[in-house]
Amino acid sequence: MAVQISPSILSADFARLAEAAAAVSNADWLHVDVMDNHFVPNLTLGLPVVESLLKATSLPLDCHLMIEDPDRWAPAYAEAGAGSVTIHAEAARAPVRTLRQIRAAGARSGFALNPATAIEPYEDLLGEIDMLLLMTVEPGFGGQRFLDVVLPKIRRARALIERHGGQIWLQVDGGVAAETIERCAEAGADVFVAGNAVYGAGDPAAAVDALRALAAGA
């Protein structure tokens, strides 16, 4: 499994997003948290900012939609040019259709589960999914404490993915830092979102390299 690091600009200065992207040019993705103040109790940014970011960076955008009605909004992010678009199981009403629309628009399809949402009911959907995102905090805010309670689900998800051919990426998001990334990698995650651990560091690029080394060595 190749380790990939996706720094979350939620922890960056929203008035300097282009600089924040440039500061992590050694990363694999730029993680963009779209929040609508309904699905989660926080409001961030939407499609116009994503469209501007696409022009401002060559990093592919990993758009994580924490919004109600992702069926309505997700395809537009893929059509705009996001490399990956992730919708939440708890919010999607027609996930098969929406995941297919994301792929049809040329992006990777992502499917996210909150900490208390089980993976097993979604096993039959794995063929529609390019990346499974397991939240390791309750979504809504950066800088929260990593929830160890999710580790057994990461292991079960990795086993399910292997049974289905091993192509699906397994992303973790929330509280991922030097102290927690090895646990996630050992459990089977291969794509790591990190907000505070990257943008809270004096040298974001060095933080990306350090996280990558820890995950690869786990």
Joined tokens for residue 114: 């909150």
Q: Which does 150 bind (CB under 5 to 8 A by kind): ligand DX5, Zn ion, none?
A: none
Q: 76-113 burial, b for 16+ CB within 10 Å, e for fewer?
A: bbbbbbbbbbbbbbbbbeebeebbebbbebebbbbbbb
CB 32, min distance to Zn ion, A: 8
Considering only the C-alpha atoms of the chain, give the largest distance between any 2 of them, rounded to a whole number of Å: 44
Binding to Zn ion in span 166-185, by CB under 5 A? 173
Q: Could you give the residue numbers annotated as active site?
A: 33, 173
Q: Which does 131 bind (CB under 5 to 8 A by kind): ligand DX5, Zn ion, none?
A: none
Place of tokens 């629309």: 101
Report the interface residues with ligand DX5, using CB under 6 A.
8, 10-11, 31, 33, 64, 137, 139-144, 173-176, 193-197
Confirm or reject binding of residue 64 to Zn ion (CB under 5 A).
yes
Residue 143 backbone class (left: φ over 0; alpha: ψ -120 to 50; beta: rest) = left
Confirm or reject binding of residue 62 to Zn ion (CB under 5 A).
no
Please, which residue, 49 or 100, has the CB nearer to ligand DX5? 49
Cα 175 to Cα 152: distance, rounded to the nearest angstrom: 16
Residue 43 backbone class (left: φ over 0; alpha: ψ -120 to 50; beta: rest) = beta
Among 33, 68, 130, 190, contact with Zn ion (rule: CB under 5 A): 33
CB 41, min distance to ligand DX5, A: 10
Cα 77 to Cα 34: distance, rounded to the nearest angstrom: 10
Cα 118 to Cα 150: distance, rounded to the nearest angstrom: 10
CB 135, min distance to ligand DX5, A: 7
CB 165, min distance to Zn ion, A: 26
Please, which residue, 64 or 153, has the CB nearer to Zn ion? 64
CB 196, min distance to ligand DX5, A: 3
Q: Which does 26 bind (CB under 5 to 8 A by kind): ligand DX5, Zn ion, none?
A: none
Please, which residue, 100 or 196, has the CB nearer to ligand DX5? 196
CA nearest to 35, candidates 148, 178, 173: 173
Interacting residue ranges for Zn ion, rule: CB under 5 A: 33, 64, 173
